């Protein structure tokens, strides 16, 4: 490795500061102090219900937790409650084989929402003593809380009536032949909120006995409003993180059903404002009829509004990406330093750029790391951590320069990202198509027709594994985005290909796609050429399956969930 020309002044302090980089926002010791872009938090401090969108690693959780922390640090009439949908779905074991999709999704959404409400109520109880200072009001508030909120939550479902549902046995049920199916959610809401299902299976029909929920959500909302008013709370923010975890496939109605229940209690409250963080491509909040009319859930621009788009907010051009990540890096550093070191470091006229010089020696090297991370904060920090390990954490002798970044990016791609897809014939085959594209066009981007993207499971799985990176539509030329989705090939993969072909490195690689006028006019030349695969859809999990999938070919079952599938092809 080439040694640096000038040794840094704060090498040991910098190494200690980035010993624990905290890749995940939820692992940070504090949230507001570490957040780059505090002014953006002010956009959330409004009564309007809002949703934050962003790819994985763009800082949705950090943003939501920083807002939650900021509101709760203020001693006033505003409070915030943070709930992650990961806590709602984790530990949930639901076995409902043989039930109709509609019944299955409705029951799952109901049970998830019950768990959500209990986490919400637990948070309210923890705030109760702080909110109520007056002894007389405390007793009244406690009575409202118990009679109008807890009572409806705990006993509402127990008032449900049972009913017998008869229907013809489905193909999937004929292959199961189970005598009973149980629902088991861990610690299911104080024991009184679970529904009970029994069924008898024979050749002609299935008999289901189901208990209908009768919890009156409007009563809970009325009780909540009365309770908050008595406590002097003018606004309660409910911050819901990891929304897409309710159903990552978006092929069920679970998100919409959950959203409808959320709407009945919180969106109609005069005191509550809901803030949701999710991934745009995995979000489906409302259900529409055949004619496109709204029929349930929450509707964007009507019930809830898109506010911060972390895919584009900081990433409109290469300069804005670099400035944001520079600020992020500086905040991580100064929040580690003691007061004396911080004061000494900040004596420099431009401390943020001084930190860049200490680590990277030149801004050009820093910009290479920005490009290698595709402008995603978590990926930027992870690559920085790997680069520091690569030089043995010896900033006195070495800087994080272009050669280090390229070597680390290629190593990361070959040793980890490639391993994620090894043994998967479909993904390996798709990568072969990408390699052929590189050989032909020698550019790092390609486009795929909007309609085909929805049916290309391999493509989206490679995006999920960060082998490919989908560019936000708002950053793409209008002429292109109306017809195509644009993808960038991973930096490490691209550099590995350049090295294998002994092609001279391109100095202008950027996380922002800058196409020439000629490329825009002839964008159809950059369509990834591949044969259209015929698909069928699994009725159990709703996911698509290629007809040439080996699991399907041999066993005629869904390789996602193992269920027998109905052969309805889609092209």
What is the spatial distance between Cα 164 and Cα 180, in angstroms, rounded to a whole number? Answer: 15
Q: What is the DSSP string of 344-377?
A: HHTTSSSHHHHHHHHHHSSHHHHHHHHHHTTT-H
Count the neighbouring beta carbons within 10 Å of the beta carbon of residue 324.
20
**Range name among 318-332, 352-366, 386-400, 495-509 with the lowest pLDDT average:** 495-509
Mean pLDDT value of segment 355-372: 92
User: Would you call 506 helix, strand, or coil by DSSP?
Assistant: coil
Mean pLDDT value of segment 83-91: 88
Helical ranges in 232-376 per DSSP H: 254-262, 318-334, 339-345, 351-360, 363-372
Digit-coded pLDDT (tens) for 197-235: 333 344 444 344 444 445 778 888 998 999 898 888 999
Q: What is the DSSP string of 33-53?
A: TT-S-GGGGGGG-SSS-EEEE
pLDDT of residue 470: 82
pLDDT of residue 506: 58
pLDDT of residue 542: 63
Report the candidate in 163, 226, 150, 249 with the shortest Cα–Cα distance to residue 193.
Answer: 150
Digit-coded pLDDT (tens) for 335-347: 888 888 888 898 8
pLDDT of residue 308: 86
Q: Is the pLDDT of residue 160 over 80?
A: no
Q: Is the pLDDT of residue 570 over 50?
A: no
What is the spatial distance between Cα 9 and Cα 361, in angstroms, rounded to a whole number? Answer: 12
Q: Which residue has the higher pLDDT, 443 or 97?
A: 443
Digit-coded pLDDT (tens) for 107-117: 888 889 989 99
Q: For residue 190, what are the CA distances in angstroms to 125, 150, 151, 195, 370? A: 15, 11, 12, 13, 49
**How many percent of the chain have pLDDT more than 70?**
76
Tell me the residue ranges of DSSP E strands in 352-477: 445-449, 468-470
Q: How many helices (H) and strands (E) does the chain have?
A: 22, 18
What is the spatial distance between Cα 520 and Cα 270, in angstroms, rounded to a whole number? Answer: 49
**Which of 1-5, 98-102, 263-267 ranks highest by mean pLDDT?**
263-267
Report the candidate in 332, 358, 265 with the shortest Cα–Cα distance to residue 49.
Answer: 265
pTM greater than 0.85 (yes/no): no
User: Would you call 252 helix, strand, or coil by DSSP?
Assistant: coil
What is the spatial distance between Cα 237 and Cα 45, in angstroms, rounded to a whole number? Answer: 9
| Intra-chain end-to-end CA distance of the chain, in Å | 52
pLDDT band at 159 (very low <50, low <70, confident <90, very high): very low
pLDDT of residue 38: 79
pLDDT of residue 209: 41
Q: For residue 176, what are the CA distances in angstroms to 51, 207, 420, 536? A: 41, 15, 33, 21
What is the spatial distance between Cα 375 and Cα 55, in angstroms, rounded to a whole number? Answer: 11
* 305: Cβ contacts below 8 Å, ≥ 6 apart: 48, 49, 50, 51
Average pLDDT, the chain: 78
pLDDT of residue 500: 87
**How many percent of the chain have pLDDT more than 90?**
26
In DSSP terms, 486 is beta-bridged to: 447
Q: Is the pLDDT of residue 185 over 60?
A: no
What is the spatial distance between Cα 301 and Cα 421, in angstroms, rounded to a whole number? Answer: 39
Q: Is the pLDDT of residue 432 over 70?
A: yes
pLDDT of residue 525: 92
With the C-alpha atoms ordered 459, 492, 312, 273, is the resulting torsion angle positive or negative? Answer: positive
CB 520 within 8 A of CB 480: yes
Digit-coded pLDDT (tens) for 164-175: 344 443 333 232
Q: Is the pLDDT of residue 493 over 50?
A: yes
CB 535 within 8 A of CB 571: yes
């Amino acid at each position: 490795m080439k040694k640096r020309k000038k040794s840094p002044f704060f090498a040991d302090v910098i190494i200690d500061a980035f010993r624990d980089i905290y890749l995940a926002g939820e692992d940070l010791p504090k949230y507001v102090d570490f957040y780059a872009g505090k002014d953006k938090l002010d956009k959330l401090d409004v009564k309007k219900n809002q949703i934050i969108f962003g790819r994985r690693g763009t800082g949705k959780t950090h943003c939501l937790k920083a807002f939650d922390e900021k509101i709760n640090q203020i001693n006033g009439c505003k409070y915030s409650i943070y709930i992650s949908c990961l806590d709602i779905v984790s530990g949930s074991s639901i076995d409902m084989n043989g039930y109709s999709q509609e019944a299955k999704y409705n029951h799952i959404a109901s049970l998830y929402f019950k768990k959500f409400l209990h986490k919400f109520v637990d948070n309210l109880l923890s705030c109760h003593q702080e909110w109520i200072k007056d002894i007389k009001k405390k007793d009244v508030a406690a009575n409202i809380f118990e009679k109008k909120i807890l009572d409806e939550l705990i006993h509402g479902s127990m008032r449900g009536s049972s009913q017998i549902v008869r229907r013809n046995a489905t193909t999937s049920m004929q292959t199961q032949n189970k005598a009973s199916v149980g629902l088991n959610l861990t610690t299911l809401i104080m024991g009184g909120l679970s529904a009970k299902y029994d069924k008898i299976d024979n050749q002609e029909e299935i008999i289901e006995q189901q208990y209908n929920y009768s919890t009156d959500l409007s009563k809970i909302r009325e009780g909540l409003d009365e309770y908050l008013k008595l406590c002097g709370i003018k606004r309660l923010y409910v911050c819901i993180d990891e929304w897409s975890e309710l159903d990552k496939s978006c092929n069920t109605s679970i998100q919409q059903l959950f959203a409808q229940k959320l709407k009945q209690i919180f969106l109609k409250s005069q005191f509550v404002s809901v803030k949701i963080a999710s991934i745009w491509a995995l979000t489906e909040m409302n259900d529409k009829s055949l004619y496109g009319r709204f029929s349930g859930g929450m509707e964007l621009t009507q019930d809830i509004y898109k506010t911060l788009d972390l895919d584009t907010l900081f990433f409109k051009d290469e300069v804005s990406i670099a400035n944001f990540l520079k600020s992020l890096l500086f905040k991580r550093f100064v929040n580690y330093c003691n007061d004396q070191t911080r004061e000494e470091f900040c004596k420099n006229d431009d401390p943020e750029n001084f930190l860049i010089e200490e680590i990277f020696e030149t801004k050009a090297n820093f910009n290479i790391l920005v490009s290698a991370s595709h402008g995603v904060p978590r990926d930027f920090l992870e690559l920085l951590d790997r680069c520091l390990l690569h030089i043995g954490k010896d900033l006195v002798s070495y800087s994080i320069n272009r050669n280090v970044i390229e070597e680390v990016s290629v190593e990361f791609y070959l040793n980890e990202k490639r391993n994620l897809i090894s043994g998967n014939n479909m993904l390996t085959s798709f990568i072969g198509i990408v390699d052929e594209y590189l050989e032909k066009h020698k550019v790092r981007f390609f486009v795929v027709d909007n309609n085909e993207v929805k049916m290309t499971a391999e493509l989206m799985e490679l995006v999920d594994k960060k082998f490919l990176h989908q560019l936000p539509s708002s950053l793409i030329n209008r002429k292109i985005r109306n017809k195509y989705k644009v993808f960038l090939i991973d930096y490490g993969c691209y550099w590995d290909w350049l090295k294998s072909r002994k092609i001279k490195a391109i100095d202008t690689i950027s996380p922002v796609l800058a196409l020439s006028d000629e490329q825009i006019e002839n964008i159809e030349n950059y369509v990834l050429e591949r044969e259209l695969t015929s698909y069928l859809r699994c009725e159990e999990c709703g996911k698509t399956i290629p007809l040439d999938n080996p699991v399907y070919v041999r066993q005629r079952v869904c390789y996602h969930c193992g269920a027998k599938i109905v052969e309805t092809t889609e092209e």
